Amino acid sequence: MRTAWRWFGEAIAVAVALVLLYQLWLFAHVLWWIDHNPATTSFMEAGLARQQEKHPDAELRHKWVPYDRISIHLKRAIVAAEDARFLDHEGFDVEGIQTAVEKNLKKGRLVAGGSTISQQLAKNLFLSSERSFIRKGQEAVITLMIEATWSKRRILEVYLNVIEWGNGIYGAEAAARRYYKTSAANLNRDQAARMAAMVPNPRWYENHRSSRAYQRRVGVIRRYMGSARVPR
């Protein structure tokens, strides 16, 4: 019996050590990306695999552009659409989380996340799109790492450069070229609102931008983006 308990204790110790090593690995990447741009992300890799299932030679469309070469309209539209209190919180929007918890309890499963831009970035960089409490827990840890070491400007810069904007389309530059034949720097107010409206479900909206739900979302974003505060 003692031998069994000893083996159990050792197994627990090994498991804890592996979890801590993984957290250190994550934190090392977060520190590296303070001033180095991610070449790829977990979501990009999953997207490429999905594309190559149908077309083995498929490639992602993605081009990094610095923060100053992204339209102020798009920055404001994204903050208005995804995280209105982006500059005020430290990674978590308490009101948004409370609303999400109420929805989840009502449905009896995870249907809403109340995620901030920082949380969405953490998920995009390292995790998957599955909904689970374990994944949300890991997302929270990574969010704390990012908020503790990156500026808000850097968080928004990386976010705008890595999020999905359609099948195989990642980042503001590739999306601006795909939808408006222009650069991320030259997006006007209307184009920015329309791109921001795609973010919650980009692969669906890529081919359904005439839907009523999309048009309503664009209208709401237009209404609030002028007052959205973004990092300089």
The Cα 207–Cα 202 span in angstroms is 9
Q: What is the CATH number of domain 33-225?
A: 1.10.3810.10
Strands, E, within the chain: which ranges?
61-62, 169-170
- Per-residue b or e along 9-43, where b marks 16 or more CB atoms closer than 10 Å to that residue's CB: eeeeeeeeeeeeeeeeebbeebeebeeeeeeebeb
What pLDDT, on a 0 to 100 scale, did the predictor assign at position 120? 96
Q: Domain locations in the chain?
A: 33-225
The pLDDT of residue 96 is 66
Report the predicted TM-score, pTM, of the whole model to 2 decimal places: 0.89
At 58-111, the pLDDT tens digits run 899 999 999 999 999 999 999 999 999 999 998 898 876 666 555 555 555 444
Please tell me the distance from the alpha carbon of residue 207 to that of residue 232, in angstroms, as a whole number. Answer: 33
Give the whole-angstrom CA distance, residue 62 versus residue 42: 14
Cα–Cα dist 48/39, whole Å: 13
Answer whether 73's CB lies under 8 Å from 192's CB.
Answer: yes
Mean pLDDT, all residues of the chain: 90
Instruction: Label residue 114 left, alpha or beta by phi (over 0 means left) and psi (-120 to 50 means alpha).
Output: left
Q: Which residues contact 27 (CB under 8 A, 6 or more apart)?
A: 145
Q: Is the pLDDT of residue 178 over 80?
A: yes
The pLDDT tens digits for 4-60 are 667 767 678 777 788 889 999 999 999 999 999 999 999 999 999 999 998 898 899
Q: Give mean pLDDT, residues 197-216.
A: 95
Calculate what percentage of the chain has a pLDDT beyond 70.
Answer: 89
Q: What is the pLDDT of residue 97?
A: 66
